[in-house]
Structure 1
Amino acid sequence: MIMPEKTLKPELRMARLCARLCAGLFITAITGLAFAPAPALADPKVLSDKAGKEWRHKETKLALPGSFGRFTLESVKDWTDSQSDIVATYRDRSTDTLLSVFLFRAGLADVSIWQDRIISTVRANGGGLGNVDGNETRLTPFTPRDGVAGSGSIAAFHLTGGNSQTSGSAVAPFGDWLVAMRMSSGSLDEQALFNALLDFASGLPLGQPAKERTHGASYAITPCSGTVPMGTAKRSEGSMSEALLLSVGLEAALEDRQKGAVEETPAAPWCREATSGKEFSVYSRGNANDGYVIAYNDAGVAIEVSKAISLTPSDSQNYSVALRAATATSFFRGFTSLPSFQQAIDVINSERPIGSVGRTPKTARHISISADTAAKEAKQ
């Protein structure tokens, strides 16, 4: 007789869940300093330095043209060892205009959030290009070639007091990837730069099969109307069962999405919480009790705080903390209630993850559990 899952002991429910979902996964306990996900390379790897030659990305098959208009592709580099964080450099020397194209597997593939972070970085003069003239930002949706209508976002700025006269950014979705384009010019005015950036961004072939088109139209993110008060949350146990649930659950969800088994429902738009800084912004869907996202810098790395997967509906509701980067998603010991924004940031900055799931083609089915977590489980 097969017992219903809700009557099984927790350890047996965990075994059944893993038997159902872990088939084909490579699960290992990592010891010592090797546990951390592969960091970004200290210096990017040069993939191409042949000026004017088209370059094609292996995994997505996206082809970057060798030239467009008066721009010439000068180099392509990778900040990882798996082509997960690409930067291509174009230049128009006749107008002193530089275009950088970033193709990266985003921790959160949301165009509106990352455009908002880029705008924040530009306004903070993060690149040293100059100060944005005025408080308004020209933000316009655009449609990528063969893509979802209005799913891209483009912004342009007039700058003062720096090396560039104008700057602009465009972001477009590409499945679980994002393409971000940054343009700066020493001579083009704002309209001319906007037009040049739009010509390039709308010309890239970023169409996706219908089942993978989970992106809607982009929009300007606005401040949240109010933040739900959050106290100091207590920590969860950080057990091996917790690590496996988080890791295996994520893997199963990703597989379902890739197969088109998950029907995306329209979600409330993101808004920006007041607790944001120069290097990060906090986003929620207008109700922080449901969780939130902390976007770091402007290159796709995100901390996601959300309600954790439970073994049964009666289990107490924990909240998970995940660091989603280009090559891996790492999970940290969670909380028994919603943690404050600062608590989540402190966890990422000071603790080691209890588990991780790879995100590259070679590691996408690899689940790693920290040696400390495995040892703690063995003692119980």
Structure 2
Amino acid sequence: MASEPIYKPADGSEDAPHEQAKPRARAIGMRGLSETPAFYLIYLVFYFTPWFFQLPGLRDALIGFAAVGSFIPVYLYANAGDPYRNGAKAHRIVIAAAYASFLSLALIPVAGMSGNFHIFAVTLLAGLRPQKLALMVMAGLSAFYLCASWLLDVTIFEMVLSQFIAVMAGMATLAGYNTAQRVSVREQNLRMEAELAALRERERIAQDLHDLLGHTLTTIAVKSELAARLLDADADRARSEIIEIRDAARITLRDVRAAVAGMHVTTLHQELARARSALSAADIRLVVEGEPPEMDQAAHAALGLALREAVTNIIRHSGAETAHIRFAPEGALIIEDDGQGGELNAGTGLMGMRRRIESLGGEMEIESRETGVCVTLSLPPAQPGHESLESEP
């Protein structure tokens, strides 16, 4: 006799009641009414089968109704909880099975098919765990029932029929528990996978927004300060800076939308152009040596975003006068400055840089000196057949 599964969070935490109710309702709807404990109480009707052939006396009728009525709450009590995942509590099962077994023997002198309660007793014991224990106890109860029925002069037909149905129902219940347990585990795994996918997506969006907004807002802040200083001294230059601020805000808005949609792509050439503009506005001289190598789109995007983060850190924290960006012949990208250096705190930006580079099989090294910081980014050579991005003018 199967009982109702209760859906719980994959992490073992307890959700609010209304949050539990939705998955529980969905699980019941999926598995059907036949998976709820109350459904199987319908088989109690077989106790009254002999009454259709011979009406019972008042005493037998009252005893029969009392027995059936008292068994229902005991049965529901045994099936409370979550037997599909953890098994119903053993003491509940044992109490209910013992009571059902008692009724199956005590009602033998009373008009009615008392062996029906033996069937319930055996199927209740199928809920014990581990499964070997359930099989042993079910076999022991069946043997006891056969011996007791023989001694109490139960008809061979009723005794054999009850035992046969009990064995079939018990095996079916065991199989049902195993199947439902697998379904429950699969549901947990699916929910866990969904939660992990959502977490990865949140991390991706957070990282992309950090890379996009951190750099652009720093650039806008620096250019705004520069424009404010130039308003009286050089109005045309101030107007030019304001136009660049407007364009940067529009481009960033587009990039934010693309990042949220998972379509943001950048290249080293684009980030070099942004770096020149941002460093110039911050009065930091930029020296570029070499040219970006040919590489696939993923490598371009990873190095481009890493360059953006490094330049943002130079503007914000270094106090440098000069920044060097060097493309080494072996394919490494080296970014260094002549700022204050010192101890580095690996925040979200640096960790994001490292994750992006290492995800492509590359390495990232940071050297903090008294006179500045040097960041070295290296990626493995492009594999044959990988699409490369042509250099932009």
TM-score bracket for the superposition, by shorter chain length: under 0.3
**TM-score with structure 2 setting the length:** 0.19
TM-score (norm 1): 0.19
